[in-house]
Amino acid sequence: MSSLPVAVHTADQVRALDRHAIDDLQIPSYTLMTRAGEAALGALRSCWPSAHRIAVVCGPGNNGGDGYVLARLARAQRLEVVAIGLHEPGRLQGDARRAHDDFVAAGGMVGGWHADCLREADIIVDAIFGVGLSRPVDGVAAQAIAAINASEGRVLALDVPSGLHADTGEILGCAVQAARTLAFLGLKLGFYLGEGPNCTGVVMFDALELPPQALAHVDAAATLIDEPAVAELLPRRRRTAHKGQQGSVLVIGGNIGMAGAARMAGEAALRAGSGLVTVATRTENVAAIVGARPELMCLGVTTAADLTALIERADVIALGPGLGRDEWAKTMFDTVLGHDRRTVLDADALNLLAHSPRANAQWILTPHPGEAARLLGKTAGEVQHDRLGAARAIAARYGGTVVLKGAGTLVVTDAARPAICDRGNPGMASAGMGDVLTGVIAGIVAQSGDLAAAARVGVLVHALAGDMAARRGERGLLATDLLAYLPTCVNPSQRS
């Protein structure tokens, strides 16, 4: 097994990598299948070293062939193997037929599907469908997937969980919910979109012994945001650094009853490393915010004139946390958009933007699916059905950089390849997480000046802090729990 690459591919791109290996590198296709089976057995033994009874459920194509290779190799290692063929051997073709016949020649037996065939298995290997599936699953395959999901055995999916669309993350009728997914040659885009994160479990990767230059032969559809990006954008500070060199953030928000949102965004900007953070809010909130975090400067603003002087001193503006939609909020919104400042828009600032659309290259928009739906005039369900398409549509309509929040947060600009964050956890689905993210991104913009890079790094830093905070448990995680971990995440060069 290899460490996860940053490149994420479509099914067609993975097929092109496969053809490159076979046609240009002259690697026989059955050799690649054998390597896949070897890698799968290695992953199985590594993840579940005490497992002895293995059930391998094989489909009609090359994914099933990978399963038959694994079954043969596992049997040679004296594991108890049950191979279940969902199709008659006579319907198998090419390498899949050869893998089946090699398994049988080595003494293995292939049984047909029946309701109790998985009952005794410690591990179930899903080798039913690969990247080529594009139709709803039915018949015996649907029965097998339902039984796999209902079983008590742990599940390893080969290349793609069967039933999951490799490009969109759509569930095609039904899909395997794996504990682990071992991807071959390339990570699949569908792992990170739609229902993909619910189906893949922990994603692993094997390059099937192809050299890095071969894997780079085909362009990627997207990239994962990796931790070296943090150190690249936020290098260790010089000993002579002072706060005036670390950028100034102005947080605008905190309408009546929502002071906490502005306070969390402000503190997050400080924790992300901004040198100065000012919160412009309702006058009624000033004492509460300063009392909770005295390092924040906090001023009550009522009119556009009150806000203008603060805007002129800021390097970046975070607009929206707790903003509301009343006349005060609209005044704040219109005043900010009347100035040429780098701006991070969140929450009600996005809702106001949806009512008054305009484009600007100098902002970062951070919608959740509901806000994205309002920006596009769609439903949240439509956004979730095509998250990447929605993020691209928002970037095309409104400009700048778009951060579409959710499992597999997307960062999209017109000029760059989409970026995906594979970190974070379900505990982060709680109030205030978006306010903290807004502050983190704004704080990083203030230090770096690079909007797109700051959006990518901010999303990753926020997710890493969430994972650290969730070590005590995901359920019950609070947005403010992340704040203590942010300095660790924005100082990767100083970790012990």
Positions of E strands within 29-115: 53-58, 80-85, 110-111
Q: Mean pLDDT for each consecutive 10-residue tract of the chain (496 residues)?
A: 90 97 97 98 97 96 97 97 92 95 97 90 97 94 96 93 97 98 98 96 97 92 97 92 90 97 98 97 97 96 95 97 98 96 97 97 97 98 95 97 97 92 97 98 96 98 98 97 98 70
pLDDT at 244: 83
* Order of all β-strands in the sheet with 276-281: 187-188, 7-9, 222-224, 419-420, 410-412, 401-404, 363-365, 342-345, 316-319, 248-252, 276-281, 297-300
Backbone angles phi, psi at 50, to 5 degrees: -90, -5
Question: Domain 7-223 belongs to what topology?
Answer: Rossmann fold (3.40.50)
Identity of the amino acid at 47: C
Half-sphere exposure of 395 (CA within 13 A, CB side): 22
Q: State the maximum Cα–Cα separation within the chain, in Å, rounded to a whole number.
A: 84
pLDDT at 495: 56
List b or e across 362-371, with b for residues whose CB sees 16 or more CB atoms inside 10 angstroms: ebbbbbbbeb
Residue pair 148/136 in contact by the 8 Å Cβ criterion: no
Find the angle CA(226)-CA(228)-CA(233) to the nearest 5 degrees: 110
Neighbours of 299 (CB within 10 A): 17
Positions of E strands within 128-208: 154-158, 180-184, 187-188, 202-206
Rg for the chain, CA atoms, rounded:
26
Provide the residue ranges of all domains of the chain, joining segments of one domain with +: 7-223, 228-494
Domain 228-494, classified CATH 3.40.1190.20, yes or no: yes
* Helix orientation angle between 94-105 and 29-47, rounded to the nearest 10 degrees: 60
CA 355 from chain centre, in angstroms, equals 29
